[in-house]
Structure 1
């Protein structure tokens, strides 16, 4: 199969870039002819020009069509388009009857915030509204009235033009995400929304690492990630946690580590170090208080047989089955976190081993690269068939 994969890079590297690179690699390994076309958000005047073109970027669309003419792909798979590409590319491809697949890495189609989180709480007020005036008033995107309005306008104008409905397959990470899309005013067909999770690569080293008596947090140190409730929980118990990452709350984490010897801050580390602590820990803790996309750390934990303790919110409630591959606790509730840890510690070694094996099985069945590439192939064939039937 000839596959063109398109992606727009933000100014700072993110999880979307990892998914783009991994999917490209596994498709090539499977023998498909894969070419990529990437764009990059710029700073300064160039960045402003890109952003102003966001609703109707004919330059980006022309560049994509030129690549299509040169490569003649069977299907085009688009990842991020914000904001150097823009939605016009979908109209251009559909007009040429090129099968198109879009991966939704966030909730930008539903609200300019992209994360449905504002003022330290989940913000879903505008999902079922025709135009997100409340989001604009609240300046939910980078605290900017202009950015929020222009992004909202871009999504809105293409909703009115039917752009989003013309995409052959829209990929959502979870049933939770799919239902949010169907609740919205986008008027998408359920048939065109397909659940396709991310995947992680299995580490052979994890099989030989002995479990230690500590827990681990890996990720951004910010309010939406539930860092404050995590610190409160471990400041009130004797269990050990290793925290890795960086972000706006890094100083608060450092202060907590100085006051409480069981809270150990490891800073930003390379993947090899993170893999070791993830494999050797009792559990990965994910205390998010917002709707995650699909945390790669959860998949990596499952791959090495490490259970996940997570907030009962959004996709996490779908990924974690209580007592099977981990445990759920109430969001933003330190007592619930502590109780969950105590429940885990009270289990027998045999029970813990069963949960660990369940994690590995879930990874193999759902989140492995082998399963992922098979699912992608099926999705591409369906998109091609749908385009042929138009």
Structure 2
């Protein structure tokens, strides 16, 4: 097939699983013999813009006429079999849908988060899961300043969501949801169920699996409230106060709470904060883990770190909501804790390290699920199958 991939890349300073998925899928398609081209923008470029140009960016979030015209020319020249849209914020806009419709090119879109029904895309506000804007006008998001804590910054995203809702829902032949949990939420919000297909993200086989019990417990991801880092610190302090043997906790990643985490970990023997790590270093941290911890307080649409742990034969302790409930089989491939409850998380962490034989069995079971559901081979089959369905439609 001839595939055109459309994506607005996130800032380099903000490590993005979405960028990684796009890169992996385009490479996978090319290796399989498909012709893949990119139509992209980079959020990094905003820093180099003049002040006047920067001022225009928010106004073009709902609709960018120049991008529509540029993409129309590209489609006329290249005539792809299918267009695959990932992220359009902030430099592309949903105007790409109009260009695809004008050209009569089948269009698919991966729904990486919840931006089609929630302006910041998180369904999370001020420490709680929030659905105030789902199926409604996104006025609450503006009132609460849900994007970057600013009502003004939220307006372009809210406007885009309101003005382009029908264009998204009618202009895309097939949506790829990255979990069943996400699909159920989108259907409840009114999106067309017959166009929503589940296509899990895949993970490249690390080429090695854990040997033995592992050296540490690992949190790997964005250091933010919604990812549950505050909850993890409370749970860990409870474990430390109770005493008893525990492997050290390693925290890797960056984000708004990184300074708070660094201060909390400073001078402790039982906690190590290592900051941002390379892909190879992350794989090494995972394969040496007793368990990977995913205590997210928001409804994760997927949970890439869980599948990365599976690939390495490592069990996960995760919050029992969102996609984690289908990725982690409680007591079989890992353990689930009550969301938002530090006592429950502490108990499950104590449990995961308390029985080495059971831990090993859960790791093996997790690896088996990875081989069945999340390998590049399976990912390619589902990706190309989705493209073909869109073309047929």
Q: Pick the TM interval, shorter chain.
A: over 0.9
Q: Does 1:61 align with 2:68?
A: yes
Distance in 1 of aligned mates of 2:239 and 2:188: 41
SS in 2 for 1:55: coil
CA contact (8 A) 1:165 1:188 kept: no
Q: Does 1:170 align with 2:172?
A: no
Which of these residues, 110, 117, 135, is aligned with residue 128 of structure 1? 135
Matches within 5 A, 1:83-232: 83-129=90-136, 131-160=137-166, 162-184=167-189, 187-204=190-207, 206-207=208-209, 209-232=211-234
- Alpha-carbon deviations, 1:307-329, whole Å to 9, x = none? 01011121112211101111100
SS in 2 for 1:67: helix
SS in 1 for 2:378: helix
Distance in 2 of aligned mates of 1:360 and 1:300: 10
Which of these residues, 21, 26, 29, is aligned with residue 19 of structure 1? 21
Q: 1:123 to 1:96 in 2, by over 3 A?
A: same
Which of these residues, 76, 89, 92, is aligned with residue 83 of structure 2? 76
Which consecutive segments of 4 or more residues in structure 1 shift more than 6 A?
none
* Unaligned ranges ≥5, structure 2: 241-245
SS in 2 for 1:224: coil
Q: 1:345 to 1:373 in 2, by over 3 A?
A: same
Distance in 2 of aligned mates of 1:45 and 1:209: 56
Q: CA deviation at 1:208?
A: 6.7
SS in 1 for 2:348: helix
Give the aligned CA root-mean-square deviation in angstroms.
Answer: 1.7
SS in 2 for 1:207: coil
Which of these residues, 324, 328, 332, is aligned with residue 336 of structure 2? 328
Q: 1:181 to 1:365 in 2, by over 3 A?
A: same
**Residue 275 (structure 2) aligns with:** 267
TM-score, length-normalised on structure 2? 0.92
**Residue 7 (structure 2) aligns with:** 7
Distance in 1 of aligned mates of 2:285 and 2:160: 43
TM-score, length-normalised on structure 1? 0.92
Distance in 1 of aligned mates of 2:165 and 2:196: 16
Q: Does 1:361 align with 2:368?
A: yes
Distance in 1 of aligned mates of 2:277 and 2:117: 34
Q: Which moved more, 1:207-216 or 1:104-113?
A: 207-216
Q: Does 1:251 align with 2:254?
A: no
* Unaligned ranges ≥5, structure 1: none
